[in-house]
């Protein structure tokens, strides 16, 4: 039994806010300028979900980069 992959859509203005905390480390930026975060532990599973939802090869998974403040 496979678990359904969840996703969260966030607007660009909300994403750029200083208080924003990413719900997952994998995301895509869609054609409507929204950020779609895919809740998955595996990058390949996340990419498979994106290929199934948007079509093969349309979007490539990106990874959230956390800034280190010292």
Q: Which two tokens stand for residue 56?
A: 């093969």
Is 29 within the bounds of a domain?
A: yes
> Residue 21: what are its φ and ψ, rounded to 5°?
-125, 125
pTM assigned to the model: 0.87
According to DSSP, the residues that pair with 62 across neighbouring strands are: 27
Quote the domain boundaries for residue 44: 6-63
Is 27 within the bounds of a domain?
A: yes
59, 28 contact by CB (below 8 A): yes
DSSP class of residue 30 equals -
pLDDT at position 2 is 59
How many domains in the chain? 1
Instruction: Read off the pLDDT of residues 24-63 as tens digits, 9 standing for 90 and up.
Output: 999 999 999 999 999 999 999 999 999 999 999 999 999 9
Is 15 within the bounds of a domain?
A: yes
pLDDT-based confidence at residue 66 (cuts at 50, 70, 90):
confident
Is 1 within the bounds of a domain?
A: no
Is 69 within the bounds of a domain?
A: no
């Amino acid at each position: 039994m496979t678990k359904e992959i969840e996703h969260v859509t966030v607007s660009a203005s909300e994403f750029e806010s200083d208080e924003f905390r990413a719900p997952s480390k994998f995301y895509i930026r869609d054609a409507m300028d929204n950020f779609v975060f895919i809740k998955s532990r595996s990058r390949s599973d996340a990419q498979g979900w994106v290929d199934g939802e948007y079509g093969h090869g349309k979007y490539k998974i990106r990874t959230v980069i956390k800034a280190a403040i010292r």
